[in-house]
Amino acid sequence: MNVLVTGGAGYVGTELVVKLAKNPQVTSIVVYDNLSRENYNLFINSAQHISQDKIKFEFGDLLDTRKIKKVLSGIDVVYHLAARVSTPFANVDSHLFEQVNHWGTAELVYAVEEIKTVKKFIYVSSCSVYGSGKELIDENSIANPKTIYGISKMRGEEHVTRLGSKMNAVIIRLGNVYGYSSSMRFDAVINKFMFESHYKNRISIHGNGRQSRSFIHVDKAVDTLEALLSKEVPSDVYNLTERNLEIYDLIDEVKDLYPSLEFIFINQHLELREQKINPETRLLKYIPLKQTDFKAELAAFRDRFTFQASKVTA
């Protein structure tokens, strides 16, 4: 089958493209990306030993309707990952989020409807659409985004939902992604803490540290996305997350790896917004997650760093 991956040069996209390229069911992959994050590791990932003949790169924006229609020619499955991304509760660049995440998704959906050859559409959304709160959230919870980013992703979902009556259209709401990828994002909280711990021996904590977040390892996110290629998963919205951690709990885990780690609080008096997602998502009925040890995942992440920063004493 022929696959299109929008945002295929991104954090999750890079790993997904590499995995799909090794899948014998996949005949060809078109990576569609505007390289706005200036991350080029997908293009130099020679160590992955993937067939160069399988992958084709198309530089372009989601709002370029003519080009979108062109790249969709002959495509069987669309993975839509392209988005303007942010930390979970950021609230800046409202126009850009709306243009890319909302209207960019709309243009892609319009093109898919017009082409009429796509059989499956997989949209990677975000648990940010639920907003924040102390209660445990599941797929039955009402979307109530509190940020421009969350609103834009929810509006994108509304367009994808329309496809559900015409083809298999699956919406995956990801928790906070962490773990090694050749196209790393270091603004994600666990990745940021690991980098700062390894090279600075000090991490900065915003707020009182009691806020919870929901997390999913990048490898498990990618494994699940690839499995959607062949699994019969009904058109619907599914959460994809594995564990909820308070920032304090996360610090304890990181400190076990870096015993001399220091941490400082910024605006410690503030109680920041939090979110807890029920890990027992309805997606597990179709695609179970591999069970792994969180501390072992962090240790494997640490081992990916090129060198250990020297410790200079006064």
Query: pLDDT per residue over 149-168, tens digit each?
Result: 999 999 999 999 999 999 99
pTM: 0.93
Residue 47 has pLDDT above 60, yes or no: no
Q: Is the pLDDT of residue 277 over 70?
A: yes
Rounded CA gap, 17 and 25, in Å? 13
Number of H helices, E strands in the chain: 9, 14
Confidence of residue 36 (pLDDT cuts 50, 70, 90): confident
Give yes or no for residue 90 having a pLDDT over 60.
Answer: no
Q: Is the pLDDT at 182 greater than 60, yes or no?
A: yes
Q: How confident is the model at residue 37 (pLDDT cuts 50, 70, 90)?
A: confident
Are the C-beta atoms of residues 229 and 20 closer than 8 Å to each other?
yes
29 bridge partner residues: 3, 55
212 forms beta bridges with 246
Average pLDDT of 238-245? 97
pLDDT (0 to 100) of residue 5: 98
Residue 205's DSSP bridge partners are: 265
- Residue 217 is which amino acid? H
At 3-13, the pLDDT tens digits run: 999 999 999 99
For residue 87, the model assigns a pLDDT of: 55
Rounded Cα distance between 217 and 89, Å, is 20
The mean per-residue pLDDT over the stretch 122-148 comes to: 94
Q: Which domains does the chain have, with CATH numbers?
A: 2-178+215-240 (3.40.50.720), 189-213+244-302 (3.90.25)
Higher pLDDT, 38 or 284: 284
